[in-house]
A and B are shown apart, each in its own frame.
Chain A
Amino acid sequence: MLGDILINGLMAGGMFAILAVGFSLIFGVAKILNMSHTAFYMITAFLILIGVTLLGFPLLPSLAGSIAITMILGILCFKLFFDRVKEHQTAVMIISVALAMLFQEIFLLAFGGHYRGVPPFITGFAEILGTRVSYQHLFAIGASALILAGLWVLLSRTKLGIAIRAVAEDREIANLMGIDLSRIFMIVMAISVALAGLAGAVLAPIYMVSPFMWMQPLVITLAAVVLGGFGSIGGCVIASFILGYTETIVTFLVPGSTFLRGAVSLSIMVLVLLIRPEGLFGVAFEEERL
């Protein structure tokens, strides 16, 4: 039981962290509240399903291909929709909701509403703390650690990362320093969508693939981002692990309570926000005039 909770919580937390960091990144840099973020996660899972089960491609090329296609789709969405209304943040958000709905319905039309499985990348299991843990779970944990570390290096050690953070800090000044804003927005959108895609790729064999699989993670991602504080990537990661463990504990300790998982996480988020309106690690800004 304890081992189960530890491993599953770690996996759920890691995956929420990847999703939440991607969401937070594009919001922090381009001020796009992308509600279709987890829809891209669903798209990658479906593309892998198509590649591996329907077309019979080998695993690695279909993984890479799916993530690449998702990235291109993300950039297209940015160029065609978000970029054109980006002065109105509410319009951007509503468009992204519509996009998520559109993707869901397209896959529903093509594949129907039932759940499908993707074969695991690595079969077998290991014995840890007295519980059987499949290699796929371990792979997911390792992958999330690797992705988060990679992202940290990208953001803190490379020139591109510095440019991204500069734009997030102050758009006008960054622009005056010769940073091409629309190029940075596009790159960040690609990174953010790729992160969602990676999460989808790793999770597709563990959770079932269906057109509605984006709803539940979206709610948790939003909760993690708000709980951690907008604009704080580290806060996001910590909040994701808090929520991941909460979900796992609720699932394991309260029998038959799958519907309660979201409710408990969201209640935690609301309670924290009532005490600290800027989130756990967010910076309290002076009241800004929009």
Chain B
Amino acid sequence: MRNYLYLLYGWVRGEIFAIPGRVIALIFFICLLSAPLITQEPYYLRIIIFATLYALFAASWDLLAGFTGQLNLGHALFFGVAAYAAALFNKYLHLPPWMTIPVGAIAAVFVGLIVGIPALRLRGFYLALVTLSFPLILTGLIFMFPDFTGGEMGLSDIARLSSSGTLNYFIIVIVFAVSTLIMWKFTDAGSKILRTGVILHAIREDEIAARASGINTTGYKLLAFAVSGFFAGIAGGLYVHFIRVAGPSTLELFFSFQAILWTVFGGITTIYGAVAGAFILYPLVEIMSNYPWGEKVRFIFLAVTLICTLLFMPEGITVWVRDKIEVKCPRCKLTNIYMRTHCRACRASLRLEPK
């Protein structure tokens, strides 16, 4: 027993405490879980819940566009389809939330596969523009059948996620934590268990070379669409049971762009970047809009932030910070805190000796 504890301690020390980025992530999750103990103010909890859902949404965009290179400009499609599917199943068939959310996510997977079919033949900007058009087509359809879909007003009176606000909070945060962990492992190119991460990287970098190496690129691209759609769908289902209205705003062009904005600000091709971007920008804008001046300039602020990010730290804020606090050992590729001069495992010098 003692031995196992000691092993666990060693693992935690080596894998988490030694790497500043992971320490930050750990502190972040502890804060996220303990937020209801600090404040019971519904307004703040609401902001955190929205940030959580949007972070999940942005991370799923990052999986598809950042890692696999399938630039999707209509990512709100997955979110909106899941939101509407969950709402319809709840409203007309009276299924409880724990069933409608998976059903919504599966609907989003299904749509992801349908959208993925053109992706097999199109590449680059053609794909971007085609994906852009799907949510707009669906919005047209929703407006065409207002009796069934609620039209412009959307579907209201959806069942609550759970009976109490605090329980809602914990359900959403835990689903978010598990989903991000899965997405992170799924895209981790250095993973020893799953090969998907490195394959998706290969497809993004050079699809023809990947195919020449015997990788079924078609299948993996569809898989990326399905997984990304699934997690965006989970976010959409939770969202609709949290605010209890499913409206066409979930399909808006601007909503798709916001996912891109959060991800690019936080750092593209890193799941944690998308999470950080949503958790920094969304509350900031939300708090700004409490003031009359902030209400007016919030989108100007967002646009300027995005432009400045791309011009001055094109890899995003998390990567910029990470490069400041972490340094990779040139010999054994182990991550070290920036203060060290020699690698913690192999004792190789981390920097060139000063002359």
Kindly list chain A residues whose C-beta atoms are within 8 Å of the C-beta of B121: 273-274, 277
Q: Which of B128, B139, B140, B303 contacts A105 (CB under 8 A)?
A: B303
Question: Would you call B143 and A106 a contact (CB within 8 A)?
Answer: no
Q: Which of A91, A223, A267, A273 contacts B310 (CB under 8 A)?
A: A91
Cα A257 to Cα B140 with chains together (Å): 9
Cα A210 to Cα B221 with chains together (Å): 40
Whole-angstrom distance between the Cβ of B259 and the nearest chain A Cβ = 11
- Among the listed stretches B23-31, B85-93, B156-164, B293-301, which one makes contact with chain A, having 4 or more residues with CB under 8 Å of it? B293-301
Produce 1/0 per residue, B21-63, CB < 8 A to A: 0000000000000000000000000000000000000000000
Produce 1/0 per residue, A252-280, CB < 8 A to B: 00000101101110110110011001010
Question: Would you call A102 and B304 a contact (CB within 8 A)?
Answer: yes
Cα A164 to Cα B304 with chains together (Å): 32
Within 8 A of A (CB), among B252-285: 253, 257, 260-261, 264
Cα A127 to Cα B300 with chains together (Å): 47
Q: Which of B126, B128, B209, B307 contacts A81 (CB under 8 A)?
A: B307
Question: Would you call A260 and B299 a contact (CB within 8 A)?
Answer: no
Cα A269 to Cα B209 with chains together (Å): 30
A97-B257, A219-B136 given as contacts; is B129 within 8 A of A105 (CB)?
Answer: no
Q: Which of A89, A94, A263 contacts B136 (CB under 8 A)?
A: A263
Question: Would you call B136 and A266 a contact (CB within 8 A)?
Answer: yes
Question: Would you call B71 and A90 a contact (CB within 8 A)?
Answer: yes
Chain A contact surface mostly: helix
A222-B132, A267-B137 given as contacts; is B314 within 8 A of A109 (CB)?
Answer: no
Whole-angstrom distance between the Cβ of A267 and the nearest chain B Cβ = 6
Cα A89 to Cα B71 with chains together (Å): 11
Any chain A CB within 8 A of the CB of B330? no
Q: Which of A109, A264, A267 contacts B296 (CB under 8 A)?
A: A109
Any chain A CB within 8 A of the CB of B141? yes
Cα A219 to Cα B137 with chains together (Å): 11
Any chain A CB within 8 A of the CB of B193? no
Kindly list chain A residues whose C-beta atoms are within 8 Å of the C-beta of B206: 289-290
Within 8 A of A (CB), among B123-140: 124-126, 128-130, 132-134, 136-137, 139-140
Question: Would you call A98 and B208 a contact (CB within 8 A)?
Answer: no
Kindly list chain B residues whose C-beta atoms are within 8 Å of the C-beta of A104: 299
Question: Would you call A81 and B257 a contact (CB within 8 A)?
Answer: no
Any chain B CB within 8 A of the CB of A155? no
Kindly list chain A residues whose C-beta atoms are within 8 Å of the C-beta of B130: 226, 269-270, 273
A93-B128, A289-B206 given as contacts; is B133 within 8 A of A269 (CB)?
Answer: yes
Any chain A CB within 8 A of the CB of B144? yes
Question: Would you call B300 and A109 a contact (CB within 8 A)?
Answer: yes
A109-B297, A259-B143, A289-B208 given as contacts; is B137 within 8 A of A98 (CB)?
Answer: no
Produce 1/0 per residue, A59-103, CB < 8 A to B: 000000000000000000000010011001111011101110110
Whole-angstrom distance between the Cβ of A178 and the nearest chain B Cβ = 30
Any chain B CB within 8 A of the CB of A215? yes
Question: Would you call B303 and A99 a contact (CB within 8 A)?
Answer: yes
Cβ-closest chain B residue relative to A91 = B310
Kindly list chain B residues whose C-beta atoms are within 8 Å of the C-beta of A222: 129, 132-133
Question: Would you call B137 and A270 a contact (CB within 8 A)?
Answer: yes
Produce 1/0 per residue, B143-165, CB < 8 A to A: 11000000000000000000000
Cα A273 to Cα B125 with chains together (Å): 13
Any chain B CB within 8 A of the CB of A238? no
Cα A90 to Cα B124 with chains together (Å): 9
Any chain B CB within 8 A of the CB of A281? no
Cα A81 to Cα B253 with chains together (Å): 23
Any chain A CB within 8 A of the CB of B99? no
Within 8 A of B (CB), among A116-155: none
Whole-angstrom distance between the Cβ of A35 and the nearest chain B Cβ = 9
Any chain B CB within 8 A of the CB of A29? no
Question: Would you call B143 and A98 a contact (CB within 8 A)?
Answer: no
Question: Would you call A101 and B137 a contact (CB within 8 A)?
Answer: no
Question: Would you call B300 and A106 a contact (CB within 8 A)?
Answer: yes
Whole-angstrom distance between the Cβ of A25 and the nearest chain B Cβ = 15
Cα A279 to Cα B121 with chains together (Å): 12
Q: Which of A91, A102, A257 contacts B300 (CB under 8 A)?
A: A102
- Identify 8 new A-B residue pairs, CB closer than 8 A, beyond the known A105-B299, A223-B133: A81-B307, A85-B314, A98-B302, A102-B304, A259-B140, A259-B143, A289-B206, A289-B208
Residues of A within 8 A of B (CB): 27, 33, 81, 84-85, 88-91, 93-95, 97-99, 101-102, 104-106, 109, 215, 219, 222-223, 225-226, 230, 257, 259-260, 262-264, 266-267, 269-270, 273-274, 277, 279, 287, 289-290
Q: List 27 A-B contacts (CB under 8 A).
A: A27-B125, A85-B311, A91-B310, A91-B314, A94-B306, A95-B311, A99-B307, A101-B302, A102-B307, A104-B299, A105-B300, A109-B296, A109-B297, A109-B300, A222-B132, A222-B133, A223-B133, A226-B126, A230-B125, A259-B139, A260-B143, A266-B133, A269-B130, A269-B133, A270-B118, A270-B130, A273-B126
